[in-house]
Amino acid sequence: MTSTITLVADSIAGKHFEITFEKTADDKGLIRLETWHSNKDHRRDEASTDDVVKLFEIRCDKRRKIVFKGDLLGSSPTITCNFVDAGPETPPSVRIVIGGSFAGLSDGSKEYTLQKSSYEELKSFVMNAGFPAAT
């Protein structure tokens, strides 16, 4: 079982993203988000941003989601990632909900659509990584 997965995506505005999720211990991990602005080439230029968030207390609901806390700007909000399967007219997506950040500055939710192959790869990685079960 691999302990790391990297997803690559490009936005309509021309930004390039590489998101790496790594399992580092039984209930710990990290997420690394590298972004290249539209005027940069990810094959030769340094990333415009390179952020790493340490994750802990990771719990996995084998059906639909993964929940964890993240070290985010001096606070430890709860982050929930819900897997949303494709519908008849909608692509698959991951809905990220953040709650409990410092002064609520990072709280909120956002939904990210993925190509079906990336969605299935991510969902399979999370569900088979052996994180402790959610209660």
Measured between alpha carbons, how far is 54 from 71 in angstroms, rounded to an integer? 5
Backbone angles phi, psi at 113, to 5 degrees: -80, 150
pLDDT at 72: 82
Q: Which of 49, 55, 42 is nearest to 9 (CA)?
A: 42
Per-block mean pLDDT, blocks of 10 residues, the chain (135 long): 81 85 94 90 91 94 89 89 93 91 90 89 90 87
For the whole model, what pTM was predicted?
A: 0.83
pLDDT at 2: 58
